């Protein structure tokens, strides 16, 4: 909210010098731009609501999924370079996550017994 007034002033100054193309954009583009905020905010609000309902340890593990999926997409679809050094780094991270998860399963199983 603090930066909103600064951003609006900046947009007004750019517009007064003819620097934006928003007025010339089609109605579809204007609607897409207007919808970009809610389209971005709704998943974040749902994530925040869901994060309150699960343990923080599980939330931490879930947050490793997105970068890993981005890596897979980058390597498999876009042909990004994924060398030996990167493999060692990701392997070490996922090995640590696996050990952490296994330890959590053993603790949960021991608590039930």
What average pLDDT does this structure show over 38-64? 90
- For the stretch 78-111, pLDDT in tens is 999 999 999 999 999 999 989 988 998 888 888 8
Same domain, 27 and 76: no
- What the block records as the tokens of 6 is 């600064």
- Whether residue 75 lies inside any domain: the answer is yes
Domain that residue 84 falls in:
55-113
Do 25 and 65 belong together in one domain? Answer: no
∠ CA 105-110-113 to the nearest 5 degrees?
Answer: 130
Question: Is residue 37 located within the same domain as residue 23?
Answer: yes
Question: Which pLDDT tens digit goes with each residue over 65-87?
Answer: 888 999 999 999 999 999 999 99
Q: Tell me if 93 is assigned to some domain.
A: yes
Q: Is residue 70 part of a domain?
A: yes
In-domain check, residue 7: no
According to the model, what pLDDT value does residue 19 have? 67
Residue 3 falls inside a structural domain: no
49: enclosing H helix or E strand: helix 27-51
What tokens does 17 get? 């010098």
Count how many domains the chain has.
2
Same structural domain, 103 and 66: yes
């Amino acid at each position: 909210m603090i930066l909103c007034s600064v951003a609006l002033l900046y947009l007004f100054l750019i517009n007064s010098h003819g620097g934006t193309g928003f007025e010339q954009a089609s109605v579809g583009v204007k609607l897409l731009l207007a919808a970009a905020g809610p389209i971005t905010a709704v998943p974040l609000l749902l994530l925040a609501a869901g994060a309150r309902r699960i343990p923080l340890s599980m939330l931490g593990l879930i947050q490793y999924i997105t970068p890993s999926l981005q890596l897979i997409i980058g390597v498999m679809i876009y042909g990004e370079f994924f060398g030996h050094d990167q493999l060692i780094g990701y392997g070490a991270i996922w090995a640590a996550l696996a050990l952490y998860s296994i330890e959590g399963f053993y603790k949960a199983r021991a608590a039930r017994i």
